[in-house]
Amino acid sequence: MQYLICYDIAEDYHRRQVAKYLESIAHRQQYSIFMFQGSEGQAGQIRERLLELTAASEHTLLLVVPMCNACVAKLWQSGEALEEERECIIA
């Protein structure tokens, strides 16, 4: 399943930590928007890690949205993603 992962984090340190983590496991679409393909269990691991990385942050919004194949097929995008698409794997 595909997952749309978004964040809004006020503190630079926490935002950099989250971005670095997500860059290692997901495809970056925009500065704070990522796409991840994996299992529900892997998405749960991502949510847990995001909560750990932002536990000390005062102003954080995290969003993980599961997207079925029909939803992914209906995505509309204008412009280029920040990264080229690559396969991302969580061990």
- Decide which of 86 and 22 is more confident: 22
- Would you state the pLDDT for residue 76? 87
Task: List the domains of the chain with CATH numbers.
Answer: 2-73 (3.30.70.240)
Percent of the chain with pLDDT over 90: 77
- Would you state the pLDDT for residue 15? 96
Are 66 and 43 within 8 A, CB to CB? yes
- Distance in angstroms (rounded) separating the CA atoms of residues 5 and 33: 6
User: What are the C-alpha distances in Å from 27 to residues 2, 35, 57, 59, 84?
Assistant: 11, 5, 24, 24, 8
Say if residue 85's pLDDT is above 70: no
Q: What is the pLDDT of residues 38-70, one digit of tens each?
A: 999 999 999 999 999 999 999 999 999 999 999
pLDDT band at 91 (very low <50, low <70, confident <90, very high): very low
